[in-house]
Amino acid sequence: MNNDILNLEPKAIWKNFSALNSVPRPSKKEEKVRQFIIKFGEDLGLKVETDEVGNVLIKKAAYPGMEDRKTIVMQSHLDMVCQKNNDVEFDFDTQGIEMYIEDDKFVTANGTTLGADNGIGVATIMSILESKDIPHPAVEAFFTIDEETGMTGALGLKGGFLSGKILLNLDTEEDDELDIGCAGGVDVTATKTYTAENVDGTSFLLTLKGLNGGHSGIQINEGLGNSNKLIARLLNLGLEFGLQIAHMEGGSLRNAIPRESWAKIVVPTANVAAFKTAYETLRADIIEEYQTIEPKMTITLEDTDAIATAMSADDSKIFVQTIMAAFNGVYRMSPDVTDLVETSNNVARVEVIDGKVRILCLTRSSVESNKTALAETLKAGFELGGFEVTFSGTYPGWKANPKSEILDVMKALYVEKYGEEPKVVACHAGLECGIIGTNYPGLDMISFGPNITGAHSPDERVEIKSVQKFWSYLLDILKQIPLDGPVDYSCANSKNI
């Protein structure tokens, strides 16, 4: 790590973020970071609780004179998206993130995701917990697990674990926004088996890489390339020359726009010259189409070791055309909120290996019925290709509450501090607030945070000046938390969703 990071302001946040980033914390492998945050709370002499799914709750009493304010829940998730550039050797299970300061403006990582999503939020909460001179009401620091690959921490939360009346989620990535709603999502997985056959032809490795990638919700409307969809165009071209697929992998995580895909293919030797000519034409077309937004994209076709077995030509055709037909990108914009994506799909992960095919999509929508409709549309297309389709990991959206008391406080404070109105928005991403609100319907929730760009990709970075703004804003918010009053938790003991 660049030690200059420890000298950045606010020092408490950067100290804690550096300590956090020294601990491996992939989704579904949070035990090390759970123990880290549990020890942190215990070393401060604070009450630490855990629930049956692994979430951690640390309670801190109110600052003297703030005892009559509403108890707040400060919430962030412990896990991070683990993505790296293809040429980087890095083990997210054992290594801490290697950070550095870029252009005196940003903190980023060496060829991997940074983990500012949601590590800056975690570090901020840690800084409040260890503070001795920051006025704040009673705090419940709520650290969830597995937000990035299933939201199982939020889904496993039961009524009665939290007692706060206001929830501050620190997982928004633009510092002039106050999020009061978000999209729900569902994983759509299509699987199929095939019998490989002996092949005789010329073997190639087709690779498409160098795309930006990014968050499959927040950035789905930016026109970024999807490596799975783009390589499918090249494979589809090859079908007319007898192309057969032996092995393919594309993308990684369901919530990341895929950056790299590759396929090992066989083409009848007699058709190779014609195939290469057609390939070069399409390759040039794709690069030209995306030259503005994906300037680092590369597409290569290389000779490889002789391939002995592959999918049949018919199976290859069905597979490729299924990928071609699968909807990807923005399905519908919101008719109610300007510039908000309502419904989308990301063709996130594609695998062909050892007689098995798997296609994984993440479908999102702020309208539950439209989420279901798009998922069913994908299912219909996959089933026409002979695939078995399952839906999993479904989670609800978060319905906006424009009359929120904490929203009024934070809007007024933002205008007072910065001389302009904040953007009150709903986001096309999966925040845990929607799930938490299922068992805590009276909880007044809002999400905010500093500027983070490139989340879910190795280009992730957090703006230093924005962290300073975020911290200053948060400290003033804590001073203005409303006086305590009754809250309706009538559904707080409903069964876990």
Helices 11-21/31-43 angle, 10° precision: 140
Token duo for residue 244: 């057969």
Is 179 designated active site? no
**Beta strand pairing status for 444-447 and 166-169?**
parallel
Token duo for residue 26: 């992939």
- Marked catalytic residue, from 30, 51, 79, 173: 79
Phi and psi at 82, nearest 5°, equal -110, 100
Q: Which of 185, 382, 174, 346 is nearest to 259 (CA)?
A: 346
Strands (E) in 194-319, as ranges, are: 197-198, 202-209, 214-215, 244-250, 256-257, 261-267, 298-303, 309-310
Contact 310, 245 (CB under 8 A): yes
- Helical ranges in 57-180 per DSSP H: 116-130, 152-156
Contact 242, 268 (CB under 8 A): yes
- Marked catalytic residue, from 51, 117, 140, 147: 147
Q: Which residues, 6 or more positions from 380, have their beta carbon under 8 angstroms from its beta carbon?
A: none
Q: Which residues, 6 or more positions from 372, have their beta carbon under 8 angstroms from its beta carbon?
A: 186
Is 147 designated active site? yes
What amino acid occupies position 219?
Answer: Q
If you search the block for the tokens 């206001």, which residue do you land on? Answer: 166
Contact 448, 172 (CB under 8 A): yes
Phi and psi at 4, nearest 5°, equal -60, -25
Length of the chain in residues, anyone?
A: 497
Active site residues: 79, 147
